[in-house]
Amino acid sequence: MPTLAEVLKQSGLSQEQIDALDAKVMNSLGGVLNTADLAQKAAQDAAAKADADRKAAEAAVAAAKTAQEATELQKRSVDEFWQNTYNPGVAAWEKEKQELARKASDAAAEAAFYKAQRESLKELGLIPADAPAFTPTAVTPDAASGSRDAQGRFVPGPNGSPVFDTNALIARASDGFNTIANVQWRYQRLYNGAPLPIPPSELISKADQLKLDPMEYAARTFRFAEKEEEQRQAVAKAHDDEIRLAASTEKESEWKQKFDAREAEFAAKEKTRAEQHANNPDVRVAISSKMPELQRQVVAKDIPDPLMMNESQRRVQTAKMIRDTIAEKDQAVA
């Protein structure tokens, strides 16, 4: 912090002038300087605290957004597991269990039938007593569910090995291309024809990481909803401005028509007045001499006799007569 002497030197005072100052003045100036320094330091501290609070708030918002995205990702992962893995697996297991139970029941009934038939034939002496007993084919889960054949080999089918479906692959690829095309079209429409800031492959990869549809990921990342709302408001504002401009233009046109009419009326009056006082005898208004009237007014003592006035009185009277004449002409024109 600079001292009071340094501040006074910076303001242009010499050392002799500073030394000549009264001690009370120096103390007062020092107190003012200290107060200003304290106020400046307090303002700096307040600004630093406000900046720290702003950064903390931004960090909290970023952390909350990250936590929200993590929560949404976990929820989507759980939903995907239950819908695509657990529920179909449980349904397949239940179906396999029922099929195994049915086959085991059929095999047990078949074995019981052949055993009873064999015992009857033995009693009748039609087959020897040491004839081999019937042994049913063992039922394995894989064979029962259709995923393996009798030799244990995998077989294609809904419950067996996956079958490569060319049409499904083409349909999925077509859907992917259509989605990327829609994302690019929407981005260019909202951002004045600019291309996507990231490659489509990166967009799809990031969307897969977050378990999101590419269109939904692009809408969140590039703020499609906010930009569409901004464009809607801009169109509404342009429409309102156009209406206001049309109303203002109509008012200005109406005011101009009235102004032109007044100007034309004033010009016509001025023309008539000029013609009445011009030198053309055909349009000039004939004015009779006012001398008899002036003599009458002098005799009637309505106006003072000009011959009895001094120079100053004659000037005043002349100015009054001129004003009265101008007033009469204005009334005649109006």
The DSSP code for 63 is H
Q: How far is CA 252 from CA 239, 243, 247, 260, 264, in A?
A: 20, 14, 9, 12, 18
Q: Can you give the pLDDT at residue 267?
A: 87
Q: Can you give the pLDDT at residue 229?
A: 93
Q: Can you give the pLDDT at residue 282?
A: 64
Distance CA 334, CA 130 (A): 151
What is the pTM (predicted TM-score) of this model? Answer: 0.36
Domain ranges of the chain: 179-222, 237-285, 287-334
> At residue 3, what is the residue type?
T
In the chain, how many H helices and how many E strands? Answer: 11, 0
Residue 156's DSSP bridge partners are: 161
Residue partners of 214: CB distance under 8 A and separation at least 6: 176, 179, 180, 183, 203, 204, 207
Q: Which of 314, 323, 140, 69 is nearest to 331 (CA)?
A: 323
Q: Left (φ > 0), alpha (ψ -120 to 50) or beta: where does 125 sit?
A: left
Q: Left (φ > 0), alpha (ψ -120 to 50) or beta: where does 138 sit?
A: beta
Using an 8 Å Cβ cutoff, are 225 and 219 in contact? yes
Q: Can you give the pLDDT at residue 144?
A: 45
Q: Can you give the pLDDT at residue 236?
A: 92
For the chain, residues with pLDDT lower than 70 are: 1-14, 16-33, 81, 86, 89-90, 122, 124-166, 169, 276-291, 333-334
Q: Please state, for a pLDDT cut of 90, what percent of the chain lies above it.
A: 4
Burial of 232 (0-12, 13-18, 19+ CB in 10 A): exposed
Q: What's the sign of the alpha-carbon dihedral 37, 38, 42, 48?
A: positive
Q: How far is CA 14 from CA 3, 21, 28, 249, 254, in A?
A: 15, 11, 19, 67, 71
Q: Can you give the pLDDT at residue 12?
A: 67
Helix (H) or strand (E) holding 5: helix 4-10
The rounded radius of gyration (Å) of the Cα atoms in the chain is 55
DSSP letters spanning 245-290: HHHHHHHHHHHHHHHHHHHHHHHHHHHHHHHHTSS-TTTSPP----
Distance CA 183, CA 67 (A): 26
